[in-house]
Amino acid sequence: MRHFAVIGSGPAGFYTAEALLKAFRDRCRLDLIDRLPVPYGLIRFGVAPDHQSIKAVSKRYEKVALEPNCRFLGNVHLGADVSIEDLLHCYDAVVLATGAPHDRLLGIPGDELPGVVGSAAFVGWYNGHPDFADLDPPLDGEDAVVIGNGNVALDVARILAKTSEEFTGSDIVGHALRALADSAVRTVTILGRRGPHQIAMTPKELGELGHLHEASPVVEATDLPPGELDAGLDPGQRKSVQHLRDFAASPPDANKPKRISFDFFARPLAVEGAGRAERVVVERTALEPDGSAQGTGETYVVPARLVVSCIGYATPPIPGVPYDAGLGRFPNQGGRIGERLYAVGWARRGPTGTIGTNRPDGYEVAEQIAALFPADGEASGRDGGEGLDRLLQSRRCDPVAFADWQRIEAAEVAAARAGAPREKLVRVEEMLRARGD
């Protein structure tokens, strides 16, 4: 018998668990450990609440969690309740699927002012992450700035611009729905330090901005490169740029009071304000031959009481695990960090790729582990989950089992608004109460 621990129950964790269970079948026991009492990581807390079809993948993960040789242990903190040494002592292999839940910092003057928030915090707030339940972002100004030209910037801009009606069928949490209904925000300016050909936005997500009830996308035609240059783009990128061309070609709808305005070649220099964010000082840029953005010295000001930076994420370090602060993740060779210790997903690659990218990633690491432990190999004698259970008990840590999560989920479904799939519980204590504590 082999014993494996996967830390983190988001997509990367579940695909790895699935692959290990397939490779070892009834020759293994696997524990899927999460610091929160609820599973699914990025699916629950990252994917936008109005993108329910993407969240449906959790049904596949549920099947993995219900496999007889798999256990979910929520509410267990690696680094507080258990150490990496404890896990390597109990298990034959440990896989870190801890994601990249921390915001990369803007690093400009004024980025610490109230009103400046990172996307992990802002997205966590509208998605009901317990760490950000009290964020209370300022929505009292007419102007907001979103920094970055990736899909997260699109998610944030769209959520800020939607009406309550447009959230029907979503699982946006009640506190965010109410705050957004009262929001004064009318203009969301998306700052991109490079140009339309350098965006990291995908066509489907960008196209959605053209169909909002109360908001029109605004693109300056003069920012767009000559049309013939689009031929050099890959097909997805070309479709995205076509959306920008369509937005530039149609004047904003006079019947829609909100604007989502794209400022390209625009690099934030500072956030200013008297005790809170009031404006962003922006420098115009030009592209260098290597594709990087170079400041031109010309500046302008965009008013903003809310500034959301959507410039990428970092994996937090874990005591006892090598960490590269520059890369913001664990250094690894094809997923291998060290002896019997692996990383998958964003903890392995950094914060890029779609949910599906994690599948081959997890399978590749499972193959490496399978090669280490052939079916006819000698057993290691490690006691796996039983050893962990003893440790947790001695430390008064009471893990949340998958059956407990199912009770929490039932409570969330029962509390759903009309038309919504669930009303998420947003506090750890509420989750623990719902499991029957």
Answer yes or no whether residue 205 interacts with ligand NAP by CB under 6 A.
Answer: yes
Least Å from the CB of residue 149 to ligand NAP: 3
Residue with tokens 């939607």, as numbered in its chain: 162
Answer yes or no whether residue 391 interacts with ligand NAP by CB under 6 A.
Answer: no
Rounded to whole angstroms, the Cα distance separating 129 from 37 reads: 11
CB 276 within 8 A of CB 114: yes
Neighbouring C-beta atoms of residue 102, cutoff 10 Å: 16
Determine the interface stretch with ligand NAP among 3-11, 146-154, 218-226, 401-409 (rule: CB under 6 A): 146-154
Answer yes or no whether residue 193 interacts with ligand NAP by CB under 6 A.
Answer: yes
Residue 426 backbone zone (phi > 0: left; psi -120 to 50: alpha; other: beta):
alpha
Answer yes or no whether residue 109 interacts with ligand NAP by CB under 6 A.
Answer: no
| DSSP secondary structure code for residue 219 in this structure | E
Answer yes or no whether residue 242 interacts with ligand NAP by CB under 6 A.
Answer: no
Rounded to whole angstroms, the Cα distance separating 428 from 218 reads: 41
Q: Which of residues 69, 163, 202, 294 is near ligand NAP by CB under 6 A?
A: 202
Least Å from the CB of residue 141 to ligand NAP: 21
H or E element, residue 368: helix 358-372
What order of strands is seen across the sheet that includes strand 266-272?
A: 266-272, 279-287, 293-303
Of residues 150 through 169, those in contact with ligand NAP by CB under 6 A are 150-153, 155
Instruction: Say what angle helices 11-24 and 358-372 make with each other, to 10 degrees.
Output: 40
236 versus 319: smaller Cβ distance to ligand NAP = 236
192 versus 384: smaller Cβ distance to ligand NAP = 192
Least Å from the CB of residue 61 to ligand NAP: 18
Answer yes or no whether residue 294 interacts with ligand NAP by CB under 6 A.
Answer: no
Record the tokens describing residue 418, joined without a space.
Answer: 């009309």
Pairing of β 313-314 and β 306-309 = unpaired
Answer yes or no whether residue 115 interacts with ligand NAP by CB under 6 A.
Answer: no
Least Å from the CB of residue 113 to ligand NAP: 17
Q: Which residues contact 369 (CB under 8 A, 6 or more apart)?
A: 4, 20, 23, 93, 95, 342
Mark 351-390 with x for binding to ligand NAP (rule: CB under 6 A) and - for no binding: xxxx------------------------------------
CB 15 within 8 A of CB 23: no
Answer yes or no whether residue 327 interacts with ligand NAP by CB under 6 A.
Answer: no
Neighbouring C-beta atoms of residue 297, cutoff 10 Å: 7
Answer yes or no whether residue 236 interacts with ligand NAP by CB under 6 A.
Answer: no
Q: Which of residues 52, 83, 198, 406 is near ligand NAP by CB under 6 A?
A: 198
Closest CA to 67 of 11, 28, 40: 28
Least Å from the CB of residue 418 to ligand NAP: 26
First vs last Cα of the chain: how many Å apart? Answer: 33
H or E element, residue 75: none
Determine the size of the site formed for ligand NAP (CB under 6 A).
22
Answer yes or no whether residue 187 interacts with ligand NAP by CB under 6 A.
Answer: no
Determine the interface stretch with ligand NAP among 164-172, 347-355, 402-410, 419-427 (rule: CB under 6 A): 347-355
Q: Which of residues 127, 149, 170, 216 is near ligand NAP by CB under 6 A?
A: 149
Residues that bind ligand NAP (CB under 6 A): 147-153, 155, 192-194, 198, 200, 202, 205, 310-312, 351-354
